[in-house]
Structure 1
Amino acid sequence: MTAPAHQLDTDLVIDVEGLTKSFAGKKVVDNVDMQVARGEIYGFLGPNGSGKTTTIRLLCGLLTPDSGHGTCLGYNILTESPRIKREVGYMTQRFSLYEDLSIRENLDFIARIYQLDHRGEAVEGAIEKLKLTGRADQLAGTLSGGWKQRLALASCIMHKPKLLLLDEPTAGVDPKARREFWDEIHELADGGLTVLVSTHYMDEAERCHKICYLAYGRLLARGTAEEVIAQSGLKTYTVSASSQKLIHRLARDLAGRHGVDIVAPFGTILHVSGADREALVRAIAPYRNETDLVWREDEPTLEDVFILMMKHAPDNYQ
């Protein structure tokens, strides 16, 4: 017997080809292919306006592409988007719950919207799972950013979705709350939930199982963080100095030299990178023997790679 269309024959939760979307004559997403496996945390990186949010919405049937095709959760993204939506949880960047209701009241309201059976049990289960018990009766408007984030996540998973969309979920949240949030995300993924997350934070990207980098609607790289770094071919040297003044002087001297694609100061350390190793070596050679500078060939960081990609990405909005 042939399996129903909604049953997944593989571990691919998302499998799409050629997704393209334009607004006002501008291609916001340009011929994107993507596959995402069940239980995978897939990170979307790129500058503002790069098409991250639009791509995520297209992948999940929340927007209809101008061209392209594929499936999400076994459903056709062109013809079965209502079915996809019922199995997706979507957490927006801006807190969108009622600030004059308590945590418990907000979750009860969401449970009513989803028409959940055993509503009270579902609410209390979400409160316990996201460790909100001690604040369940606190008004949402009085919560810190980290606690609002937990509440928003709880509201997204109450209906037990198979796919979770997170649109820059940790913007404006302190480092401790960010780390705790990501611990929760990994726990959910370990339970089989697939997660698509857009972020600007490189440390968050490195916590994803796989990542992709979008610039002006085009997918420039994808894979694990290690694979993306290796595929870039980027070579990096780090140089330290006894004073900030020396680092500033060196940064000015190296910027624009042939073979130097990136010059990025980090305190009293400078990252100097280039895609052509021989040209980079020639560019820095005059400075290698300066006694006040300590040079070291180093591994490029994910941030180095993405700066390089952004530098060479054509801007189709100009």
Structure 2
Amino acid sequence: MISQPAGHATDAAPAIDVHGLCKSFGTRKVVDGLTLTVPEGEICGFLGGNGSGKTTTIRMLCGLLTPDAGSGTCLGLDIIRQADQIRLQVGYMTQRFSFYGDLTVAENLDFVARLYQIPDRRAAVREIMGRMGLAERAGQRADQLSGGWKQRLALTACVLHKPRLLLLDEPTAGVDAKARREFWDLIADMAVEGMTVLVSTHYMDEAERCQRVVYLSGGRLIVDGAAAEVVRDAGVITYEATGIGIDALVHRARVTPGIESATVIGRALRVIGTDAAELARAVDSLRAPGVTWQPVPPRLDDVFIHLLGQDTRRR
């Protein structure tokens, strides 16, 4: 496990510092002894399959759930005894859009400003709408916004009270590529100004924009490091095939011993494995006239698929 990504400031005070967190619902243990440290000002990608414990962990960090066991701090405040104070300094964006559809953008933000008792709230709302590109949509009803603009409104509401920590739970699910890029540009700008961001995502291009990624499986943190380090240390080997008949070849590849995963990306068949000799034999068995195989560097999405496959085998 990589605990200190390259180029990372070792003297940064942790925004999140928790140890041995556990949470069960009935007989199902969702988070199992999780330990996580995130320094201030870092964008940390929170990865894992469905049911891996990401959302439950985020809710414990912001004081919405109380751990069954474990301890730690968030923004220097005890996550159990000072949860109410943590909530005032954290912005939490859930997976589901949760604002009033029959209120305008400005009215929704004014409502949030009232909740946080922000001084001169109308000026604060005008300022944040200008910064987040919402000024021209101030009078538009929230239920008339596209998915990308709804997510921008949700992010704006999360940062209206100027939190020190932003917790984002799959914030761009279902949003088009342009809106996702603009959303991440806003996050990067805020991180430059010192805000810490913990963001769960299934998009590997988003994970690669994080300074660090962690991966949960069964409620346990099993991978932690910069994206390039995670790829380097995962032990994943990748080959690509190009040529005639790739679409038909993928079906054979998926049942060939030594190949963990096979998929067609564009005009190439991409296969991954972890045993170099076994994977090479598998590739040899798939050679055919008009098909060219070559080893290629693995990517973060290859590692993610490999880890998801390990999750499935553990169950």
TM norm. shorter chain > 0.5: yes
Please give the per-residue CA displacement for 1:141-184, whole angstroms capped at 9, x wherever unaligned. 21111111111111111111001111111112111111100000
Matched, 1:108 2:110: yes
Shift of 1:278: 1.6
Shift of 1:314: 5.5
In structure 2, relative to structure 1, the CA distance for the partners of 1:196 and 1:268 (3 Å cut) is same
Summarize the alignment of residues 199-278 of structure 1 with structure 2, pairs less than 5 Å apart: 199-242=201-244, 246-278=245-277
Q: In 2, distance between residues paired with 1:56 and 1:306?
A: 20
In structure 2, relative to structure 1, the CA distance for the partners of 1:111 and 1:198 (3 Å cut) is same
Matched, 1:70 2:55: no
Corresponding letter in the other structure for 1:252: H
Q: For 1:138, which of 117, 124, 140 is the aligned residue?
A: 140
Q: For 1:21, which of 4, 20, 23 is the aligned residue?
A: 23
SS of the aligned residue for 1:313 comes to helix
Q: In 1, distance between residues paired with 2:276 and 2:176?
A: 38
SS of the aligned residue for 1:128 comes to helix
1:313 matched to which residue of 2? 311
2:187 matched to which residue of 1? 185
Q: For 2:45, which of 43, 46, 51 is the aligned residue?
A: 43
SS of the aligned residue for 1:79 comes to coil
Summarize the alignment of residues 135-174 of structure 1 with structure 2, pairs less than 5 Å apart: 135-174=137-176
Contact 1:86 1:161 in 2 (8 A): yes
SS of the aligned residue for 2:251 comes to helix
Q: Which runs of 5+ in 2 are unaligned?
A: 1-10
Q: TM-score, with normalisation over the residues of structure 2?
A: 0.92
SS of the aligned residue for 2:31 comes to strand
Q: For 1:196, which of 176, 198, 202 is the aligned residue?
A: 198
1:298 matched to which residue of 2? 296
SS of the aligned residue for 2:256 comes to coil
Contact 1:216 1:314 in 2 (8 A): no
Q: In 2, distance between residues paired with 1:119 and 1:100?
A: 21
Shift of 1:43: 1.2
Please give the per-residue CA displacement for 1:197-218, whole angstroms capped at 9, x wherever unaligned. 1111111111111111222322
Shift of 1:54: 0.6
Contact 1:19 1:30 in 2 (8 A): yes
Q: TM-score, with normalisation over the residues of structure 1?
A: 0.91
Structure 1 moving runs of 4+ over 3 Å: none
- Give percent identity, aligned residues only: 52
Shift of 1:286: 3.2
Q: Which runs of 5+ in 1 are unaligned?
A: 1-8
Please give the per-residue CA displacement for 1:15-61, whole angstroms capped at 9, x wherever unaligned. 11111111111110111111101111111112222211011122333
Q: In 2, distance between residues paired with 1:62 and 1:209?
A: 26
Contact 1:236 1:299 in 2 (8 A): yes
Shift of 1:104: 1.2
Q: How many residues align?
A: 305
Q: In 1, distance between residues paired with 2:15 and 2:171?
A: 21
Corresponding letter in the other structure for 2:309: K
1:4 matched to which residue of 2? none
Shifted more, 230-239 versus 143-152: the winner is 143-152
Q: In 1, distance between residues paired with 2:185 and 2:31?
A: 31
In structure 2, relative to structure 1, the CA distance for the partners of 1:10 and 1:249 (3 Å cut) is closer
Shift of 1:265: 1.9
SS of the aligned residue for 1:56 comes to helix
2:129 matched to which residue of 1? 127
Q: In 2, distance between residues paired with 1:231 and 1:30?
A: 24
Corresponding letter in the other structure for 2:293: W
